[in-house]
Amino acid sequence: MSSAYDYEFKTIDGTPLPLSAFKDKVMLVVNTASRCGLTPQYEGLEKLYSDYKEKGLVVLGVPCNQFAGQEPGTDAEIKDFCETKFNVDFPLTAKVDVKDAGAHPFYKWAEAELGEPAVPVWNFHKILIGKHGEALQAFGPRTEPQAPEVTAAIEQAL
C-alpha cells in the first residue's frame, strides 16, 4: 500500500521536497493561486500553520494555474507574492497541475485513496494527510482553513 510519503514535489526554489520529510506530521496539502477570489485564504492557512506547527502540522501550498489561469506567475513571482502580501511561512512547492492527465502523481494517488472528493475543482482545495502518510479527508475550496470541520479533523489527526 502506498502513502503520501512515496511522492515528491520540488520546492518553490527548485530543490527536491520528498513528502517523507514530513513523516510523523499531519499535512494539509492545498492547491493555491495568487489571482483568485479565494486567495485571502492564504491568511487563514498561515494562521493554521502558526497555531498548529508546534503540535506537528505542516501546511503545504501547491501553486497551480489550471483554474481560469489564476496562477500565471513564475515560481519566483509566486514566492515573492506569498511572502510579501500574506507573510507565508509554510512550505510552497513549484507550480504543478493537480487534475486531469497531467496531474502530479500525489494528486492521482489522493484520488485513488479518497475518490472524487480528492480531485480539486478549484483553487484552495485541501487534502488532509495523517501522521503515517495516509489520506484522511478532503475539503472543498470554499471551506475556510479555520472552519470548525478542518480544525477538528486536524486536531483529531494530531
Catalytic: 36?
Answer: yes
Active-site option among 5, 11, 36, 131: 36
- Torsion (CA) 13, 43, 109, 79 in degrees, nearest 10: -10
Task: Determine the 3-state secondary structure of 9 from DSSP.
Answer: strand
Contact in structure between 98 and 104 (CB atoms under 8 Å): yes
Q: Specify whether the CB–CB gap between 31 and 123 falls below 8 A.
A: yes
**Residues acting as catalytic residues:** 36
